[in-house]
Structure 1
Amino acid sequence: MKQLDVCQSWAMGDVLLEDYHDHEWCKINHDDQFQFEMLCLEGASVGLSWSIILHKREAYKKAFHDFNIEKCAKMSDEELEALLTNKDLIRNRNKIFGVRKNALAVLRIQEEYGSFDKYLWSFIDGEQIVGHWHHLEEIPTQSEISQALSKDLKKRGIVYVGPIITYSFMQSIGMVNDHLVDCHCF
């Protein structure tokens, strides 16, 4: 198997996952709304595969106002309850209501730091962490930084952000680049 195929092997021939690998995963993104989207989607993936969530992404965007932070923060209990009947979402009450909870916390972070982005990137002094990995087995599932970020996110009221999910979140917004060195996306 060529190294390129190894880096993409988790996509397992799924066009949507391959596109995510090539165009989003580990790509630096400083947009608060995109970061909030990835935070919520990663949280939805707890206990599930990323493939399931990625295939439900458009439904999540529609249900949660394209992850507009202010609109998600203002969602009513009734609106969130109605989403529990949406078969295109993961119908877990805590995860559904967690989007609003996270939006409210992100708004507080934005107020304190000026942006969610500034807050997040302060954990790595504004510089992407590049793994320089040669084999998939080398890629960690968490780090000291994801542990620290997870702890701080939880303290601020954000849910579904254990250190492993937080590490995946860091990859999803490009704080970490874990493409293998021989990958065309490195």
Structure 2
Amino acid sequence: MRCDWATDADELMQHYHDYEWGTPTYDERETFELMTLEMMQAGLSWQTVLRKRQNFKQAFDNFDVERVAHYDAADVARLLHDQGIIRNRLKIADTIHNAQVLNEWHAKGQTLNDFLWAFVDGQPIVNRYEHQTDLPAQTPLSQKVSKALKKAGFKFVGPTIIQSLLEAVGILNDHLAKCTVNQLRD
């Protein structure tokens, strides 16, 4: 049994559900990747983003924060012409901006992972919702994290995007109660 959104999904979505979504990650590159993908997903389906994920990795230098932070106008033009990714000028610009902010953090010894996990004292929050419709689009936690990220200078990090990010990196484990992935992880 899987969560409703993954039950009738294609293999790519099922793999993401089974092995990534809700699984704690502390890898900075992966967290930046997931933040970017969640930004790119805004207004679109997650399936669309997953299908383009490999193209995004190639286009954004495997989400190497330092490299993305140094992108210039030529890189923006290249990305806007890349048919393998979502070519939204604002989302691309904000991804580069966020990499710049994060690159400054790294220079000071700060990480996005430490920042995010501090909100839950390093312990994932495991929810046991009964129905897919019970999952909130945002929570007080995602609102708090969103506000803090914005204050730190990040862009395109509203509470709904941050809710999805917190689920993606495993800070929130929102697999449904009936989902066997939850049972395997317990």
Conservation of the 8 A alpha-carbon contact between 1:38 and 1:172 = yes
2:181 alignment partner, SS class = coil
Structure 2 contact 6–17 (Cα < 8 Å) conserved? no
Query: Matches of 1:25 and 1:123 in 2, distance apart?
Result: 19
Q: Which runs of 5+ in 2 are unaligned?
A: none
Query: In the TM superposition, what are the counterparts of 1:1-40 in structure 2 within 5 Å?
Result: 4-5=1-2, 7-10=3-6, 12-40=8-36
- In the alignment, the residues of structure 2 paired with residue 65 and residue 56 of structure 1 have an alpha-carbon distance, to the nearest angstrom, of 14
TM superposition shift of 1:138: 1.9
Measure how far apart 1:10 and its partner are.
4.2
Q: 1:50 to 1:29 in 2, by over 3 A?
A: same
Aligned to 2:60: 64
Give the structure 2 partner of residue 161 of structure 1: 157
Q: CA deviation at 1:114?
A: 2.9
- Decide which of 169, 172, 179 is 2:175's aligned counterpart: 179
Aligned AA (2:35): L
RMSD between aligned residues = 1.4
**Pair 1:74 & 2:70 matched:** yes
TM-score normalized with structure 2 length: 0.92
The Cα shift of 1:135 comes to: 1.8
CA shift for structure 1 position 115: 1.9
Structure 1 position 143 matched with structure 2 position 139:
yes
Q: Is the CA contact 1:11–1:17 (under 8 Å) kept in the aligned structure 2?
A: no
- Between the aligned partners of 1:109 and 1:142, the Cα distance in structure 2 is 26
Residues 102 and 11 (structure 1), Cα distance of their counterparts in 2 relative to 1, 3 Å cut: farther
Tell me the distance in 2 between the aligned counterparts of 1:54 and 1:116: 22
Distance 1:131 1:137 in 2: 14
- The aligned length equals 182
Q: Would the aligned equivalents of 2:139 and 2:163 in 1 still touch at CA under 8 Å? A: yes
Q: Deviations over 1:82-112 (max 9, x none)?
A: 1101111111111112221010111233345
- 1:133 maps onto 2:129 in alignment: yes
Aligned-pair identity (%): 36
How far is 1:23 from its partner? 0.5
Assess, with a 3 A threshold, how the Cα gap between structure 1 residues 28 and 162 changes in structure 2: closer, same or farther.
same
The superposition leaves residues 10-63 of structure 1 with CA deviations (integer Å, 9 ceiling, x where unpaired) of 463311000000000000000010000000000001111111111010010000
